[in-house]
Amino acid sequence: MKENDILERIEIRETVDGRPVDGDAGSRRNTSSSSAATTASSPAASGTRKMSTKSMRRASRPDPYIWGIYIMLLLISVVELFSASSTEVHGDNVYMPLIRHVIFLGIGLGIVLWLQRTPYMVINRFAWVFALFSLGLVLLSTLFGESINGAQRAIRVAGVTIQPAEIAKLAVVCLLASIYGKTQTPGGVSNKGVVTSAVVVLVFAACLVTNGLTNTLLLMVVSICMMLIGGIQWKKFGMVMLAYGLAVVLLMGFKEIAPSTADFDNVEPMQTAMVASAANGAISQVQTGIEAETSGGNLKRSGTWKERINRFIAGVNPDDPITDENRQVVFAKFAQANGGMVGQGPGNSRESARLPLAFSDYIYSIIVEDTGFIGGALVLLLYLLLVARAGRIAYMCSRAFPAFLIMGCAVMIVFQALVHMAIVTGVFPVSGQPLPFISKGGTSVIVMSAALGIMLSVSRFAAHSGNKKEISAEMNALPDDMQAANYSADQQ
């Protein structure tokens, strides 16, 4: 269905068989005479309807608060990425890392502008196709992908590296929104919806676990949040948690009986050493060692997870020597301590030159060093405001599907940001998670931009509860199986 066709179905207050539709009740009321239907079909009436459509298009605008948060994050990204890219500078062109990042931000901005003009109903039509496509990419990266930071998680296409795990997270959010939008009931979520969503999450989690445990856990947490937002019954929620727990136990059991992973435990410190020594020209020797360790297939990750958890529990003491194993944690803490309350000023970071992956997995520590505690708190506040605004829009939605869609995208973005900050500040064990819209990484920037574009589409096209004319037009545009009401909204 083309965009113009959907816009016409949404914005024109159409009649059915000469009788206006009452979208709130889903019933039709009789007209006082048949002359009204005749008049409505006349050319004059048609012209009036077209004028009304144009005025409604002008009045329909994407949410300005979401746009404001997005622009602020982009500005922070440009400044802090340049400050954190000391180890990426090659030769005399100090602006090359920034130029590459700005190109991806520009592509992401184009995706946001495109999706905000696309009615959100299109997402429902392609949810399963998108999910299966992303699942295929995950399996392809697991079997034939390139190793990044000790895990086989990337695909290289025409010189561009793609990380399917990032795409899979958004695909699952869109699919779960579609499932819950079809199975929402006044009492919560139907049995069919609970079972289908749990199976989808478990299948994706099983495929993602070799790409990285953190992405798998993030996927499960986002799905749990969407269930709770949908008002799932506590008994069903407990059964889903039991299924998730059993799946984790089975996975860990399989890892224990798998071949020994001792040979792979050294991959992470070696990768860290590779990044740390890149500026000194020692990268080739370390890279050779990593290739020797990772040759022969995908890494068995359980040993790495155990080592990370053990190091997290042990912590880092002031008297500990700086080693490849604790280098990231130590220099990240140095950066945050150096930031103080107001920071050293943008571009004056001291630790970006020796902190591994300062431009991606640890960029929040550079933000704190440059802008201090105040700047770090403001960045955190921006993400919290994003999910708060999404919650307000979801509450106002008349139908369940757009409410689930905008909340799922917001929760995915904000939870990833919180996990990144928790890792950098030492609350969570070390793991690689980019800071949405700010960290370097083409796939992450594009996927997060797509999620934000979907949020803007919902804010623009979703009908508000209480507006019967908007609701009737929205129900005309939605398929029959997506008519479930948003029971958390204030139905009038």
Task: Classify residue 488 as exposed, middle or buried by CB count within 10 Å of its CB (0-12, 13-18, 19+).
Answer: middle
Q: What is the pLDDT of residue 285?
A: 35
Question: What distance in Å separates the CA atoms of residue 405 and residue 171, rounded to the nearest whole number?
Answer: 11
Axis crossing angle, helix 442-461 with helix 363-396, rounded to the nearest 10: 20
Task: Look up the pTM and report it.
Answer: 0.76
Q: What is the pLDDT of residue 480?
A: 66
Q: What is the pLDDT of residue 100?
A: 85
Q: What is the pLDDT of residue 357?
A: 76
CB 115 within 8 A of CB 457: yes
Q: What is the pLDDT of residue 34?
A: 39
Closest by Cα among 263, 130, 259 to 204: 130
Q: What is the pLDDT of residue 255?
A: 56
Q: What is the pLDDT of residue 450?
A: 96
Q: What is the pLDDT of residue 315?
A: 61
| Total Cβ atoms within 10 A of residue 247 | 17
3-state secondary structure the chain: CCHHHHHHHHHCCCEECCEEEECCCCEECCCCCCHHHHHHCCHHHHHHHHHHHHHHHHHCCCCHHHHHHHHHHHHHHHHHHHHHCHHHCECCECCHHHHHHHHHHHHHHHHHHHHHCCCCHHHHHCHHHHHHHHHHHHHHHHHHCEEECCEEEEEEECCEEECHHHHHHHHHHHHHHHHHHHHEECCEECHHHHHHHHHHHHHHHHHHCCCCHHHHHHHHHHHHHHHHHCCCCHHHHHHHHHHHHHHHHHHHHHHHHCCCCHHHCCHHHHHHHHHHHHHHCCHHHHHHHHHHHHCCCCCCCHHHHHHHHHHHHHCCCCCCCCCCCCHHHHHHHHHHHHHCCCCCCCCCCCHHHCCCCCCCCCHHHHHHHHHHHHHHHHHHHHHHHHHHHHHHHHHHECEHHHHHHHHHHHHHHHHHHHHHHHHHCCCCCCCCCCCCCCCCCHHHHHHHHHHHHHHHHHHHHCCECCCHHHHHHHHHHCCHHHCCECCCCCCC
Q: What distance lies between CA 228 and its chain's CA centroid?
A: 18
| Total Cβ atoms within 10 A of residue 235 | 8
CB 341 within 8 A of CB 374: yes
Closest by Cα among 460, 434, 459 to 447: 434
pLDDT along the chain (492 residues), means of 10: 51 40 39 37 38 40 93 92 67 70 93 94 92 92 71 72 89 94 84 91 86 81 88 87 84 56 40 45 37 41 57 62 74 86 84 78 89 94 96 89 94 94 85 86 91 95 74 73 66 42
